[in-house]
Amino acid sequence: MKLVSKVIITSILVFSISIIPISVNFASAQAVPEWVKNTALWYGEGIISEGEFLNMIKFLIENKVITIDSIKDPVSQPINSQIVIPNGNFDVTGAGFYSPLNLEIPVGSSVTWVNDDSVPHNIQSIDINGRVTQMFNSPPLNTGDRFEYTFDDEGVFKYYCSFHPWRIGLVTVS
């Protein structure tokens, strides 16, 4: 009996490591026929082949003792994300772009800007014409300061630093 449960556990494990999510229908556990138990036992003892053992697994799936869940598209969960204002961001001739320059996040995610530069910056939401909007507006952020905003709507949102208006970044929410 011990060996039977060992083999059944093994077969469950074999299926668990495949990418198909499975669940074992324990309500049907009494419906496991005697020959299935024997097949598992004999496979464990090396009496029957792997092919025969797999036929038995096939039987368990076809008779819904083991059920295979359909694969669903994963729903994007909100995340906590970060945009770094890198060292040298103030320099108009430098490459100190916001990192990432276009942050892509699911709806409901929060974004934290972190000032890693040596001078203060701020974060101001702007419209397509580059005018400041009231959506999100940080105070001046000194080195090491953070500013957080949560994006509850889909869209592509632009921002800039009013001290260094050549620095423009995007947050894409979908």
Q: Which residues bind Cu ion (CB under 5 A)?
A: 121, 161, 163-164
CB of 76 to Cu ion, least distance (A): 31
**Does the bond joining 74 to the residue before it have cis omega, within 30 degrees of 0?**
no
CB of 104 to Cu ion, least distance (A): 23
**Alpha-carbon distance 113 to 118, whole Å?**
15
CB of 109 to Cu ion, least distance (A): 23
Q: Which is nearer to Cu ion, 40 or 121 (CB)?
A: 121
Q: Which is nearer to Cu ion, 88 or 106 (CB)?
A: 88
For the chain, the straight-line distance linking the first and the last C-alpha, in angstroms and rounded, comes to: 53
Residues in the chain: 174
* 142 and 98 Cβ atoms separated by less than 8 Å: no
Q: Which is nearer to Cu ion, 7 or 121 (CB)?
A: 121
* 93 and 101 Cβ atoms separated by less than 8 Å: no
Q: Which is nearer to Cu ion, 157 or 160 (CB)?
A: 160
* 95 and 128 Cβ atoms separated by less than 8 Å: no
CB of 85 to Cu ion, least distance (A): 7
